[in-house]
A = this chain, B = another copy of it.
Amino acid sequence: MRRKSLCAGVVTLMAVAGLGAQEPLKSASFNLMPVPTSMTVQAGRLPVQASFTAAVTAFSDARLAAGLDRTLRRLERRTGLEFPRGAADAAKAALIVQVEAAGSRVPSVDENESYQLTIDAARATLKAPTVVGALRGFETLLQLLAGDRDGYYLPAVTITDAPRFPWRGLLIDVGRHFIPVEAIKRNLDGMAAVKLNVLHLHITEDQGFRIESRKFPKLHQLGSDGRYFTQDQVRDIVAYAAERGIRVVPEFDMPGHVQAWLVGHPELGSAPGPYEIARAWGVMDPAFDPTREALYKFLDVFFGEMAPLFPDAYLHIGGDENNGKHWNANASIKAFMAKNNLADAHALQAYFNQRLVKILKKHGKQMVGWDEILHPDLPKDIVVQSWRGQQSLADGARKGYAGILSSGYYIDLMEPAARHYAVDPLPASLGLDAAESARVLGGEATMWSEWVTPETIDSRVWPRTAAIAERLWSPASVTDVLDMYRRLATVSLQLEDLGLQHESQVPVMLRRLAGTHAIGPLATMVSLVEPVKGYRRGREKPGGGLTPLTGFVDVARADSMAAIQFRIAVEELLTDAPRFRDRRDDLLTMLTTWRNIRPAVDRLIDQAPALRETAPLAVDVSSLGSLGLEALSFLASGIAPPAEWRDASLARVDAAAKPRAAIELAVTPTLRRLVVAAAEIPRLGTMPRDAWKALVDKLAAPPAPPKPR
């Protein structure tokens, strides 16, 4: 499921192109993310003061009490107020929590996560059928906190909320790069904050077997470089997640992606071995030998050990990207296939999966796997996770298979949030009936970790995953990209308060790279760039499992907010044609900063050889700054530049648009627009403004369509 990806979701940044043209829906949605199912806003507010207390008036248990305590402590941290402790008097409490029952003992895909939150000037009342529903409501309440000259408060609202999809997940690949417990925990907190409810731990890979096995200790001892979860740590993670109403689904990818297993247990493989932990990225040849009975005995014992560690009803067996090479090279396997009428590798894998599904059932687990596991011989209670796209999911649903979407949510590909946000797991165009639609359980963002370390994972997951969380929770009609970005900026800050380092690690990494505190110009430069998209990183800056990921590209983030702000400012400037005064001062400030970036960045590069690869970028930023200032100057004067200026300028922009050191400048499309607008001043007199703007947009389109990735 890894190497293909987003092609199905041909959704582009066009949605963002209209940024600035729409009015933010601020009053309607505050800073809530995900947007609730329904909300009405009343006049009035509930003050949040040092006297703030909360009372649980119906069902209570330890999980609810702990969730409420976390909520109150987070309110205290943000307000600086110290609330009274101890049991509160319900008659005087500012927050009343009414829960009907505990809900599932183990977090379940069938959990009722709905809640109702009513806030007036006297109190906030949170009602929910289950504790998990209340936990979701607590997060909404925390997002509603606001402040002004009169103090902190919660606005008067009535919210009725429930998720659109029951399976809303984040996959973290701890196989390719190990991600330790503390990073997992802070990401669980982030997930809870945006109402995600499944942590999918991709726990074994060619590059690492990341869990302690007491039955087969050579698995982790020889397959992990010493970086794995102990069973105590797994229990800790699962309990931490359950406290937050989050399921943990483990993935043990097989029969391919098992190279790290085979280091300690070569007898399970289809080739004689010996095997080493994979250090490169890509599809590896090693695979289990599904023709040997010993394999199934091994897996029976293994899953017997693992199943109790992960109490969730589902267990993921991967099943993707088995290239069949070692099978086809093994005479005994070929003979087995011939004898059993297994026509090809796909048929043999289906045979393996049928055996596997029985073992999982024996240990109380339902099977989940990637698209490849779909086969007529498999029972209908398996769940398919689709990297292929909504159509594949719909085909499965029509055949009776439940599924979850990951195509379009591959956050490792460094696409902007807007792109993921536009991907709906269940678009009306699929034409599924109600029963079929119900089989589309939701989706999962996938944090594959070729280019991710414990230091950078937060900035690769957040804040973009909050946009995906909204797509999976909120009504399908919630699609305003500008409003999403507006709320995302605020939610990003609140995520940071949970310990996530997606913002704070950026200057840390720049300081390490530069060896100095004076990173101002580097911070400007990194704000204007994004890592190359899709699978280009590996081609443009090759590396493997042992490569340090501390370069400029690892600091850069997927969604350049500075580029979006530049785009909005230019949009507003051009809308002000022919005066071109709106946002002109802001643009002058931005562009002057870019133009002047160079001597300072050059000095930093001289001291920091690791930064040398960014020297051409600095040249481009400076050059684009100058170019933009020239364009502004033409627009302000109303005098068209000479024709050769246009051609030379566009050539410079296009040259700057080429990736360098696996990084691309995110501002080049907008700069093209500015250049073309300056060049097209004469035609402004000959047509209405909107037509002129449309012409500029058309002429400013990039020279060639982007190639499919």
Interface centre among A76, A516, A608, A609 (most CB of B within 10 A): A609
Question: Is residue A231 within 8 Å, beta carbon to beta carbon, of the partner chain?
Answer: no
- Contact across chains for B80 and A610 when beta carbons are under 8 A apart: yes
B79, B82, B85, B489: the one within 8 Å of A609 (CB): B79
Residue A232 at the chain B interface, CB threshold 8 Å: yes
Within 8 A of B (CB), among A120-175: 147-149, 151-152
- Is A511 touching B490 in the complex (CB atoms < 8 A)? no
- List residues 65-80 of chain A with CB under 8 A from any CB of chain B: 73, 76-80
Is A51 positioned at the interface, with any CB of B under 8 Å from its CB? no
Query: What is the chain B residue whose CB lies nearest that of A454?
Result: B499
Question: Is A77 in contact with B493, judged by CB distance below 8 angstroms?
Answer: no
Question: Is A606's beta carbon under 8 Å from chain B?
Answer: yes
- The answer to whether B152 and A80 have CB atoms under 8 Å apart is no
Among A10-18, A313-321, A331-339, A543-551, the one that faces the other chain is: A543-551
A308 at the interface (CB under 8 A from B): no
A residues 574-617 touching B (CB-CB < 8 Å): 606-610
Please give me the residue from chain B that is nearest to A230 by CB atom.
B232
A609–B48 Cα distance when bound, in Å, is 11
The 8 A CB mask of A80-118 against B (1 = contact, 0 = none) is 111001000000000000000000000000000000000
Contact code string A548-577 (vs B, CB < 8 Å = 1, else 0) = 101100000000000000000000000000
Q: Is the CB of B548 within 8 A of A77?
A: yes
Whether the pair A548, B80 counts as a contact (CB closer than 8 A) is yes
A493, B512: Cβ atoms closer than 8 Å: yes
Residues of chain A from 484 to 543 with CB closer than 8 A to chain B in the complex: 489-490, 493, 496-497, 501, 503-505, 507-508, 511-513, 515-517, 543
Cα distance, A191 to B496, chains bound together (Å): 27
Q: Is the Cβ of B81 less than 8 Å from the Cβ of A548?
A: yes
Q: For A49, give the chain B residue with the smallest CB separation.
A: B609
Instruction: Enumerate chain B residues within 8 angstroms of A79, measured Cβ to Cβ.
Output: 548, 609-610
Q: How far is the CA of A82 from the CA of B152 in the complex (A)?
A: 51
A546 touches B85 (CB 8 A): yes
Q: Which residue of B lies closest to A82 (CB)?
A: B547
In contact, A148 and B511 (Cβ under 8 angstroms): no
Q: Are B82 and A147 in contact (CB under 8 A)?
A: no
- This chain's copy number in the assembly: 2
Q: Is the CB of A516 within 8 A of B504?
A: no
CB atoms of A497 and B515 under 8 A apart: no
Q: What number of A residues sit within 8 Å (CB to CB) of B?
A: 44
Kindly provide the distance from the CB of A339 to the nearest chain B CB, expressed in whole angstroms. 43
When the two chains form the complex, which single residue of B82, B149, B151, B512 contacts A496, counting CB atoms closer than 8 Å?
Answer: B512
Q: Is A647 an interface residue (CB 8 A)?
A: no
Most chain B CB inside 10 Å of its own CB: which residue of A148, A149, A232, A548: A548
Bound together, the chains give a CA A496 to CA B517 distance in angstroms of: 11
Partner of A550, one of B77, B490, B493, B550: B77
The answer to whether B493 and A516 touch across the interface, beta carbons within 8 angstroms, is yes
Asked whether, in the complex, the Cβ of A82 is within 8 Å of the Cβ of B148, the reply is: no
Provide a sorted-by-A list of 26 A–B residue pairs whose CB atoms are within 8 angstroms: A76-B550, A78-B512, A78-B515, A78-B550, A78-B610, A79-B610, A80-B548, A80-B551, A82-B543, A85-B546, A147-B515, A147-B610, A148-B606, A152-B609, A152-B610, A182-B182, A232-B232, A490-B515, A493-B511, A493-B515, A496-B512, A503-B507, A503-B508, A503-B511, A504-B504, A504-B508
Residues of A within 8 A of B (CB): 73, 76-82, 85, 147-149, 151-152, 182, 232, 489-490, 493, 496-497, 501, 503-505, 507-508, 511-513, 515-517, 543, 546-548, 550-551, 606-610
- A-B pairs, top 5 by smallest CB distance, nearest first, are A80-B610, A504-B504, A76-B548, A151-B609, A147-B609
11 more CB-based (< 8 A) A-B contacts, given A77-B550, A493-B515, A504-B505: A73-B548, A76-B550, A78-B512, A79-B609, A82-B546, A82-B548, A147-B608, A147-B609, A149-B606, A496-B508, A504-B507
